[in-house]
Amino acid sequence: MHDWATLPRSFYQRHPTEVAPALLNKLLVRDDGRAGRIVEVEAYAGSEDPAAHSFRGQTPRTATMFGEAGHLYVYFSYGMHWGSNAVCGEVGQGWGVLLRALEPVQGMALIREARPAIRHDRDLASGPGRLSQAMGITKALDGADLVRNDRGVRIVSDAMAPPTEPGVGPRIGISKAVDFPWRWHVPGHAHVSGRSARR
């Protein structure tokens, strides 16, 4: 039995720029046995952030972002893949943290089965779409409560602390607010997305 502690609601009830670096080295866990260590994240902050899906207010697509903190917001990106986000702040703020990359640590057979074309383990969950695919996250999990292990998904701590000096820089793949230093990663980690991001 793992000595894992599910993150409480209060962990998420902060500004995403506080939650994001604190999520580094936490574990995203599925009930089917898959687990991955979070090594890269990005913060998105509603009406104060032109790059956020929630910047212009609530829509059917972004409704989960405006709900209770500690839920999973899942969206379809570029018509190709799913993005996974932890909702933050208070109801109505539209804040969240995008999970950009994981280091798979458990359930490797299932993860490799979900990503059959990948030759190197470092690429299994490196990038938002790859992460969601590796962990079996689709629109069916949009709104799942990460605190209550709703639909078999949660974020836990195994007592590994976030890095004391995380890597920080601009977010990737956006066209607005490109100068916000709102991406954090575990420095030098092989599973961080993109070579430039690993520096």
How far apart (Å, rounded) are the C-alpha atoms in residues 6 and 87? 15
How far apart (Å, rounded) are the C-alpha atoms in residues 81 and 178? 22
How far apart (Å, rounded) are the C-alpha atoms in residues 107 and 96? 27
Q: What is the pLDDT of residue 198?
A: 42
Q: What is the pLDDT of residue 195?
A: 53
Mean pLDDT, all residues of the chain: 92
Contacts of 32 (CB under 8 A, 6+ apart): 107, 110, 136, 152
Please state the domain count of the chain.
Answer: 1
CATH number at residue 137: 3.10.300.10
Q: What is the pLDDT of residue 1?
A: 56
Q: What is the pLDDT of residue 144?
A: 98
| Residue 193 belongs to domain spanning | 5-198
Task: Using 50 as the pLDDT threshold, list the residues of the chain that sit under it.
Answer: 196-199
Q: What is the pLDDT of residue 76?
A: 86
Q: What is the pLDDT of residue 176?
A: 94
Q: What is the pLDDT of residue 56?
A: 87
Q: What is the pLDDT of residue 136?
A: 96
Record the pTM: 0.94
